[in-house]
Amino acid sequence: MGASEQHRESPIEAGLRILVADDDTLAATGIAALLMRSGFEVLGPVGDGHAAIELARAQRPAVCMLDIDMPGVDGLAAARRILDELDIPVIMLSAHSDAEHVNAAAEAGVFGYMVKPSSQNQLRAAISVAMSMHAARRDDRAHALRLQRQIDSRRLIEQAKWKLVSERGISEPAAHTLLQDRARDERRKIEDIARDVLGEQPTNDHDRRDRSTVRR
pLDDT tens, position by position, 22-70: 999 999 999 999 999 999 999 999 999 999 999 999 999 999 999 999 9
Q: 120 with 34: CB under 8 angstroms?
A: yes
Q: Cα(92)–Cα(71) distance, rounded to whole angstroms?
A: 15
The one-letter amino acid at 153: S
* pLDDT reported for residue 21: 97
* pLDDT reported for residue 13: 54
* pLDDT reported for residue 4: 43
Q: Does residue 117 have a cis bond before it (omega within 30 degrees)?
A: yes
Which long-range contacts link 181-190 to residues 24+ away (Cβ below 8 Å)? 186/214, 187/214, 188/214, 190/153, 190/157
C-alpha 133, offset from chain centre: 11
What ranges do the domains of the chain cover? 3-118, 140-215
* pLDDT reported for residue 19: 98
Structural domain 3-118, CATH architecture = 3-Layer(aba) Sandwich (3.40)
Note the CATH number of domain 140-215: 1.10.10.10
SS3 content of the chain, % helix, strand, coil (to 5): 65, 10, 25
How many other C-beta atoms are found inside a 10 Å radius of the C-beta of residue 133?
13
* pLDDT reported for residue 157: 85
Q: Which residues of the chain have pLDDT under 70?
A: 1-14, 140, 200-216
